[in-house]
């Protein structure tokens, strides 16, 4: 449930979700003004192409409804989600936007698309046949996108199938609103695959004159203007992940995550911590137990043991290592090197923030920023700045 805190000042307004802060193990802060700034930056970089927004996976873990509401307020009129359930939620937030469903047309769902004015991203001749049969009988004139596979080998019609479908443009009510494809490795400009895909897609696009075309994701926007075409589809960059790996991040950070210290305890030399006793104190130690675990999306592989150091959380401005196995709901941190009595029950440790962005957190956990964001727990209290 979202709760609006009334404020005449947008920058101080807050939208909250999840459990009350005092009841939650952690507090996730989402800066909607930074999200808005990121979308406007990407819109400026890709102009005159239309800048859409990908809000799948619950707005990349940040909350579909508040994210979409801010982007719509900023001027975004086209959105992409993964599935129908997300699309139906989104339609309640933005009744007048174009909403594309990336996972395509599930069997027997054509009427749902019509009822909610949604657009499937069709990626097979079977889907297209079902869509055409429905529109012929129902006289529904809603549109769809055609996904052409140029090398990803996931969803999408083949280049040959796309060429065979092209003559349908001769029909007055062909229904095709967007021709699209997906880059394999646009975050690596030196990779020749992007140029190969653009050439392949350009040849198909020539058969679909008058239909808007789209291939650029977040990183694709930074490849070259030739990749922008008519519509760009930024996703993860909106939420602060670096779309240009190896270069300074051009995006503003959007999320901050702090988790609560439940207890501070002292250990004697030789005592162990956590399941299976994998970490042993090699000195008298102080341990802070924080209320976050793998059920909250903090991966068990970040545990610390006698054989390898664990990942770190930031406590009182300093990185403190995880010791012992990460459990479902709790993590132990070694705070021995912090000043005595500086950490108390009710204090917070920082997972994302204080100079550590989503990408750095992902690298620390052996994954990527995408997975960090989309694993954010709904057990956290959520505060939306600028909502």
Q: Of the residues 56, 100, 239, 384, which is catalytic?
A: 56
Dihedral through CA 350, CA 351, CA 357, CA 358, nearest 10? -160
Cα 4 to Cα 1, 10, 139, 261, 277, distances in angstroms: 10, 12, 41, 28, 45
Structure token pair of residue 158: 């083949």
Q: Of the residues 4, 92, 247, 275, which is catalytic?
A: 275
Cross-strand partners of 290 = 261, 331
Dihedral through CA 133, CA 139, CA 140, CA 145, nearest 10? 50
φ, ψ (nearest 5 deg) of residue 42: -65, -35
Long-range contacts for 358-361 (Cβ within 8 Å, ≥24 apart)?
Answer: 358/239, 358/240, 358/241, 358/253, 358/255, 359/241, 359/242, 359/245, 359/249
- Name the 3-class secondary structure at 100: strand
Whether 275 sits among the annotated catalytic residues: the reply is yes
**Continuous segment of H or E residues that includes residue 57:** helix 56-60
Whether 100 sits among the annotated catalytic residues: the reply is no
Cα 112 to Cα 95, 140, 142, 355, distances in angstroms: 15, 12, 12, 45
- Name the 3-class secondary structure at 187: coil
Cα 34 to Cα 46, 208, 218, 251, 384, distances in angstroms: 18, 37, 16, 8, 11
Cross-strand partners of 179 = 146, 213
**Continuous segment of H or E residues that includes residue 87:** helix 84-93
Cite the active site residues: 56, 275
């Amino acid at each position: 449930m979202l709760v609006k805190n009334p404020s005449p000042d947008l920058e101080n307004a807050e939208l909250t979700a999840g459990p009350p802060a005092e009841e939650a193990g952690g507090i996730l802060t989402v800066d909607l003004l930074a999200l808005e700034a990121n979308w406007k930056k990407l819109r400026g970089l890709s102009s005159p192409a239309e800048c859409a927004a990908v809000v799948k996976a619950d707005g990349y873990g940040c909350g579909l409804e508040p994210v979409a509401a801010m982007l719509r307020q900023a001027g975004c009129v086209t959105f992409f989600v993964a599935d129908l359930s997300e699309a139906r939620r989104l339609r309640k937030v933005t009744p007048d936007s174009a909403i594309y469903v990336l996972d395509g047309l599930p069997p027997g769902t054509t009427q749902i698309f019509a009822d909610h004015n949604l657009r499937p991203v069709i990626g097979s001749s079977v889907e297209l046949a079902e869509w055409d049969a429905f529109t012929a009988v129902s006289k529904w004139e809603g549109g769809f996108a055609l996904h052409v596979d140029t090398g990803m080998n996931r969803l999408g019609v083949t280049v040959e199938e796309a060429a065979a479908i092209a003559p349908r443009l001769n029909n007055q009510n062909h229904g095709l609103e967007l021709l699209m494809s997906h880059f394999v490795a646009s975050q690596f400009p030196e990779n020749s695959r992007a140029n190969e895909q653009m050439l392949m897609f350009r040849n198909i696009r020539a058969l679909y004159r008058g239909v808007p075309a789209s291939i650029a994701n977040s990183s694709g926007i930074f490849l070259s203007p030739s990749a922008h075409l008519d519509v760009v589809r930024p996703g993860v960059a909106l939420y602060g992940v670096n779309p240009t790996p190896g270069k300074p991040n051009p995006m503003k950070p959007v999320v901050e995550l702090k988790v609560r210290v439940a207890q501070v305890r002292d250990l004697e030399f030789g005592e162990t911590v956590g399941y299976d006793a994998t970490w042993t104190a090699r000195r008298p130690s102080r341990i802070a137990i924080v209320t976050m675990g793998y059920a909250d999306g903090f991966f068990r592989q970040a545990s610390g043991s006698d054989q390898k150091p664990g990942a770190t959380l930031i406590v009182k401005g300093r990185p403190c290592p995880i010791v012992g196995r990460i459990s479902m709901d709790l993590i132990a941190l070694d705070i021995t090197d912090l000043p005595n009595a500086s950490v108390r029950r009710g204090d917070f440790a920082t997972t994302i923030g204080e100079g550590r962005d989503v990408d750095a957190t992902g690298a620390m956990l052996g994954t990527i920023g995408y997975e960090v964001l989309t694993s954010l727990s709904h057990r956290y209290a959520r505060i939306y700045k600028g909502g």
